[in-house]
Amino acid sequence: MRLLPGMVMLMLVLVIAGSARATTDVMPFKDEAQEQQFRQLTEQLRCPKCQNNSIADSNAMIATDMRRRVY
């Protein structure tokens, strides 16, 4: 029974740490045409780590890096 509060605290820390990492990139665009071009490119490019996911849909770190390069 004394182990239960420690396990609850551990789970809480893991959930908070995971949600802090799940942030999205904010990329300002000059106009809507530039944003549309970015979306089209990121939908066409595939993530090398994921199986057939676009870099727009992938949460892998390499996909994030690729989106930044496309931007």
Amino acid at 36: Q
- Residue found by looking up tokens 């990121």 in the block: 42
pLDDT in tens, 4-48: 777 777 777 777 765 555 556 678 889 999 999 999 999 999 999
Angle formed by the axes of helices 32-44 and 61-70, nearest 10°: 140
pTM, entire model: 0.61
- Tell me 22's DSSP state: -
Strand partners, 7: none
- Domains plus CATH for the chain? 3-70 (1.10.8.640)
pLDDT in tens, 33-45: 999 999 999 999 9
8 Å CB contact between 59 and 24: no
CA distance 59 to 32: 24
